[in-house]
Amino acid sequence: MSGDESSPPQRPSLETLISRALRLRCPRCGRGKLFTGWFSMPERCSECQLKYERASGYFLGATYINYGLTAVSLTALYFVLHFGLDLSNRQLAGPLAGFCIVVPLLLFRYARALWLAIDCHIDVSVLASDD
């Protein structure tokens, strides 16, 4: 008797979880796809049945990741273009407004995947749960 059923769940390393997130794969098995379309997630992993959205509003935290990544990249881009290339604020307003619309859409899936990875890293019970 190995007693595997009572042993605590294996926690993948943070590097593994981040790698799976960047490949948009399930944090538990690394095989199932997190998305079936640009914005659509299946309820569960097709391989290990991990439930992705644990509760209503679960992915609200991904919004903060998305916002943070967008704000940091916007700030860096502004400094490079304004102070480095000497473009005026008037010249930058339109393109940077477009940046603020496009980049969050591009980051949407990665922000959710990273949120799920971070949650699995902090709360290993997520990986053991089947509901």
Question: How far, in Å, CA of 61 to CA of 2, rounded?
Answer: 38
Residue 32 touching Zn ion (CB under 5 A): yes
Residue 27 touching Zn ion (CB under 5 A): no
Closer of 26 and 62 to Zn ion (Cβ): 26
Name which position in 12, 20, 21, 26 contacts Zn ion (CB under 5 A).
26
Closer of 28 and 62 to Zn ion (Cβ): 28
Per DSSP, 51 falls in state B
In order of 53, 58, 118, the CA distances from 122 in angstroms are: 16, 15, 6
Closer of 48 and 103 to Zn ion (Cβ): 48
Name which position in 18, 33, 47, 92 contacts Zn ion (CB under 5 A).
47
In order of 37, 76, 121, 125, the CA distances from 40 in angstroms are: 5, 30, 23, 25
Residue 24 touching Zn ion (CB under 5 A): no
Can you tell me which residue has the tokens 């979880």? 17
* Interacting residues toward Zn ion by CB under 5 A: 26, 28-29, 32, 45, 47-48, 50
